[in-house]
Amino acid sequence: MTNETIIIQAPASKSLSHRTLIAGALAPGRSIISGLLDSDDIHRTRGCLEACGVQFEDQLDGSLAVTGTETGPQGGNHDGKDKDARPAQMYFHESGTTARLMTAVAAAGKGRFRADGAPRMQERPMKELCDALGALGVSFKYELEKGFLPFVMETKGYGKGPVDITLEESSQYLSGMLLGAPLSASETIINVTGKKAVSWPYVALTLRIMEDFKASFRVETMQEGQWRETPWKAIRKVEPGQLRFIVQPGGYQPTNYRVEGDWSNASYFLAAGAVGKKPVNVHGVMADSLQGDKAIIDILAQMGAGINVTADKGVTIYPRKLRGITVDMGKCPDIVPTVAVVAASAVSPTTITNVAHLRIKESDRLQACADQISKTGCEVELGEDSIKIIPKPLKSGEGIDFETYGDHRIAMSMSIFSLSGIDVKLDNPACVGKSFPGFHDTWKAVLEGQ
């Protein structure tokens, strides 16, 4: 590594921050969590947990003390003594992760909970999760449209299963139910059904946190017509109807925990190393991470970028001539906008497949990528679950007004075009606060280092 290399520290993982915060909150006693991401979405999850009776105390060293409840999430009338008690208020704003995880986690508690979010969050589907929780005895009263926020949920905890859930629309439904299941009074069996499965690595992150906080579960796969226990870390591909989870009662144990760096947010800076003039080194990400977005280094390597990975100095990406590829990104949807923008600097077309679920994120990310990348001079073709970027000479030296749709990942991805000589103008730069409030300052360091 030379003095020409730009060095960046990765922020903490958003996915692991959500899950660690929840596991600590469900463990009776005190846990200390360090390295937690400071972002809007994490604040939403913390706020929902506080509404459910969890106590937090910010420490002088930057860590967070979490004191979980003895009885799990507590809603209105959780003790059955006040039928007129106001529901616990869970407001998700625009955090889909908070909405899916906390709905399922609160359902594992007792009492009445009101769930609501910003207008875009009210458009995002919740029906599959609510139906699955309904099969466990949880009741829902929808205030506007069935299967969507806002609603009031009433629960006595998870009843006896088994229960079915798919990984077609979102893996967060399954993750939320897995996180809540240890609070059940009896064994919970969750079957993965449906036609296809996306985003499995996020489920693996959930299982890792459950294991680290001493929840008891096992994973079984169908082999030769029989269910057989399978090490969850050995699972690479999920076949619907061939996988189930058996979670034992017993809850969680308090644990002191440090959150690792985030591969999703690191992807923009690794992309900068591929398309910019100088190498970029990102510290704080783990090469053996279970995060699906670690795939960014393999994808950039396939496209021709130079790569060096070390245990102590993180990942370095070196600029090279890039070529287009065809890649299935069903397991790593959050970095699709990053790869799509990098593809605009390649010498041949790139096709990204198996990403229909991007249409129900903070924005319709497939359409957003197509519309915004097209502004740079490239051609973009959209399929039902794919996007193809056909590189053309970029409008270097010109200013382009990019729409972010209030979506943090669109804003951060479009910023990469500034390394191609485009004057990037974002209509809502502040939306990055959802996952990475310090993005613009860190990105400025990349631009100044060129």
Cα end-to-end span (Å), the chain: 16
CA distances from 438 to 11, 44, 277, 441 (A): 9, 18, 23, 6
Q: Kindly report the backbone phi and psi dihedral angles of residue 229, in degrees, each rounded to the nearest multiple of 5, phi listed first.
A: -65, 135
Q: Kindly report the backbone phi and psi dihedral angles of residue 193, in degrees, each rounded to the nearest multiple of 5, phi listed first.
A: -120, -165
Helix 200-212 to helix 172-180 angle (10° resolution) is 20
Q: Kindly report the backbone phi and psi dihedral angles of residue 269, in degrees, each rounded to the nearest multiple of 5, phi listed first.
A: -80, -35
Give me 138's structure tokens.
Answer: 């949880």
Residue 35 DSSP symbol: S
Cα–Cα distance, 113 to 110 (Å, whole number): 9
Confirm if 232 and 207 have CB atoms less than 8 A apart: yes
Residue 337 DSSP symbol: H
Find tokens 């006595």 and name the residue: 156
- Helix H or strand E encompassing 98: helix 96-107
Cα–Cα distance, 91 to 334 (Å, whole number): 23
Non-local (6+) Cβ contacts of 214 within 8 A are 252, 253, 255
Beta bridge partners of 306: 318
Q: What share of the chain is helix, strand, coil (3-state, %, to 5)?
A: 35, 25, 40
Residue in 40, 116, 334, 407 annotated catalytic: 334
Give me 422's structure tokens.
Answer: 């485009």
Non-local (6+) Cβ contacts of 118 within 8 A are 92, 93, 94
- Catalytic status, residue 164: no
How do beta strands 280-283 and 6-9 pair? Answer: parallel
Q: Kindly report the backbone phi and psi dihedral angles of residue 293, in degrees, each rounded to the nearest multiple of 5, phi listed first.
A: -75, -5
How do beta strands 350-353 and 387-390 pair? Answer: antiparallel
In the chain, DSSP finds a helix count (H) and a strand count (E) of 13, 23
Q: Kindly report the backbone phi and psi dihedral angles of residue 185, in degrees, each rounded to the nearest multiple of 5, phi listed first.
A: -80, -15
Give me 154's structure tokens.
Answer: 């009433």
Cα–Cα distance, 340 to 296 (Å, whole number): 12
Catalytic (active-site) positions: 334
